Amino acid sequence: MKKWIVLLLLLGTIGIVVFLQMDPPQKRIDKNERYSESVEQFRKDTVLSSKEQEPEILLDGISLKNFGYHIRMSDDMKLLCQERLFADVLGCSILRYSTGEVSIERGNTSILLKKDRTDAVIDGQNVEIETPYQFDKEEQQLYLPVKSLMTAMGYSVDVSYPDGTLNLKEVVVSDPLPARYDMREKNRVTPVRDQGKYGTCWAFASLGALETTLMPYEENIYSTDHMSLNNSYRLALSAGGEHTMSIAYLAAWQGPVYEEQDPYGDGETVDGLSAVKHLEEAIVINERDDEIIKSAIYRYGGVETSLYLEMEYSGDDSRYFNNSNAAYYYSGTESPNHDVVVVGWDDNYPRTNFSVQPEKDGAYICKNSWGEEFGDKGYFYVSYEDKNLCGQSIVYTRLEDADNYQYIYQSDLLGWVGELGFGKEEAYFANCYVPERDEELAAVSFYATGPRTVFSVYYVPEVNGTADLSKREFLVSGETRYAGYYTVRIPEPPALNRGQKYAVEVQVMTPGSKRPIAVEYAADERSKSADISDGEGYISLYGEVWNSAEESGCNVCLKAFTNERKEEKTDAGEESAGEE
């Protein structure tokens, strides 16, 4: 009996040991029938939350909030950012093609994206990226996948959801600009034109630069005849012009129109044409800085600028022009007398190619308006050491379809003629307008008279006297990198009632300026057509005491853009057109 007991104990011990050495039984958790639905709802809520509360973008810990770059999250919860950030901050050249392909270049890095595809070509290699790019038609902006593209360009991407930040840091330092760049090779220029006997080089340079803004995705030839004869300066074709006239014409929606609508050379123009595009932004670079000029060409398009040409037309001789090499270098003291478009550069262009030799190699590639018989099929090389080239440069950075806003309210048809202020860097300025229907305020535009201008935009719903101008309501704020013309969209457009006078206000702080407000007035013979009877503008130092701009002999450069008020839905689901 004892033997059996011992045997049973021994078998039991062995069983326990074996049991302990066995894998534990696997527990099974069955998914609830609403599991997939819950996951999908969580994903949608996360995406929705990301749209309502965008992460703050930091560059090596420094906030870029003032510049208004937007981030969004794709349906598969991947971060995308506006192409503006890639261009402005990283210095990328971004080209869209009608095929849906997008080319991105930065220094020696090249990326090719395809529409609705997650396979990309990065530096010649097929690479999988996290999500396809998106295109926002309302913003006219590409949204590009952040992580894979930033990483390819040598940046680290650190997303902190608790802090609500996206921090970018350059970990592989490289020059964003190549040693040579030619827009002709990228299909970013329109054909060379011939101004003939007229003094219209300024219009050809302005529109030649403007035409590059949308290329290669869209190629248009705009009418120089219309710009020359339908602007508010009312000058003869032989009188010449400058970029302030061009920007004013474009900003006022007087143009551009297509060349075929108003052909050049007959000395006449076609009245009653409507602008086929709307200018939203043009930057003005007021000093010669080769890195800034090159970067602007690379990122945005052709640069309109001036130089002194000793020749008056194609075929003329000059000791400063080497006709065989189409190379020009002026080292004298004459002021600029001719406008061209800078479309590229070559750091290694030999100094020996010039008749009068500069000290160093390097040249800009310029498009002229003297026909293809001039220079290198209409182009020529200008030495980096030229005394006048790019002393002031204009770049048209945002051009949109003519349906972006329905209505424009303005009183500054001559644009930025001069400046006004109180001897300080900051000031307020306002314009009053009366809507012709029930509308909403979609955007405002104004000039930044200097770089690094910080601004805030306000509006006053009802103005019955100057005391009401202090009852402003905040709309949006931001900062500009350069002087120039800017259109600022209103994130939540306020309602405007038909016939009720309202005001738009802007507060600016322009470092180093004593007169930061751009105004229109009759400053000289060229601007004598200024009409200040069409405006009701005001200026103020602190936004409390307001002075009439018209009593000072000028109009404030501040436009308002509106759309018809959208029909609202009542709680019962019925349509309501809003109050009259």
Full DSSP string of 475-534: EEEEE-SSEEEEEEE-SSPPEE-TT--EEEEEEEE-TT-S--EEEE---SSTTTT---TT
Residue 91 backbone phi and psi in degrees, to 5: 75, 30
102-140 in b/e burial notation, b at 16+ Cβ within 10 A?
Answer: bbbbbbebebbbeeeebebebeeeeeebbbbbeeeeeee
pLDDT at 164: 85
Which residue type occupies 62?
I
- Structure tokens of 156? 């680290």
Residue 327 CB-density burial (10 A; 0-12 exposed, 13-18 middle, 19+ buried): buried
pLDDT digits (tens, 9 = 90+) for 35-62: 555 544 444 444 434 445 678 898 988 8
pLDDT at 28: 53
Nearest of 549, 543, 475 to residue 508 by alpha carbon: 543
Nearest of 483, 491, 441, 434 to residue 463 by alpha carbon: 434
CB 394 within 8 A of CB 282: yes
Q: What is the CA 81 to chain-centroid distance, rounded?
A: 15
Distance CA 190, CA 170 (A): 36
pLDDT at 52: 55
Nearest of 540, 544, 518 to residue 248 by alpha carbon: 518
pLDDT at 311: 87
Residues of the chain under the 50 pLDDT cut: 1-20, 39-51, 569-580
CB 263 within 8 A of CB 225: yes
Q: Which residues contact 92 (CB under 8 A, 6 or more apart)?
A: 86, 104, 105, 106, 153, 176, 299
Q: Match 């479309």 to its residue by tokens.
A: 343
Map residue 55 onto helix, strand or coil.
coil
Q: Which residues contact 398 (CB under 8 A, 6 or more apart)?
A: 140, 213, 279, 280, 281, 487
Q: Which residues contact 4 (CB under 8 A, 6 or more apart)?
A: none
Bridge partners of residue 102, in order along the sequence:
96, 113
Q: Match 């080769």 to its residue by tokens.
A: 290
Distance CA 413, CA 463 (A): 24
Distance CA 106, CA 305 (A): 25
pLDDT at 47: 40
